[in-house]
Amino acid sequence: MSRGLFIFALQIFVCLAVACLGIWTMFRPKSFQAFVNENFRLLPTVKPGIRPTTILIRLSSLFLLWYALTLARTFGGEIRFIGHIINRLAG
How far is the C-alpha of 38 from the C-alpha of 54, rounded, in Å?
Answer: 16
- The answer to whether 57 and 33 have CB atoms below 8 angstroms apart is yes
- The answer to whether 12 and 75 have CB atoms below 8 angstroms apart is yes
**Exposed / middle / buried, residue 37 (Cβ in 10 Å: 0-12, 13-18, 19+):** middle
Q: Using the 8-state DSSP alphabet, how is residue 48 labeled?
A: S
Confidence (pTM) = 0.82
Can you give the pLDDT at residue 52?
93
Can you give the pLDDT at residue 68?
95
pLDDT tens track, the chain, 91 positions = 688 888 888 988 999 999 999 999 999 999 999 999 999 999 999 988 888 999 999 999 999 999 999 998 988 888 888 888 889 989 7
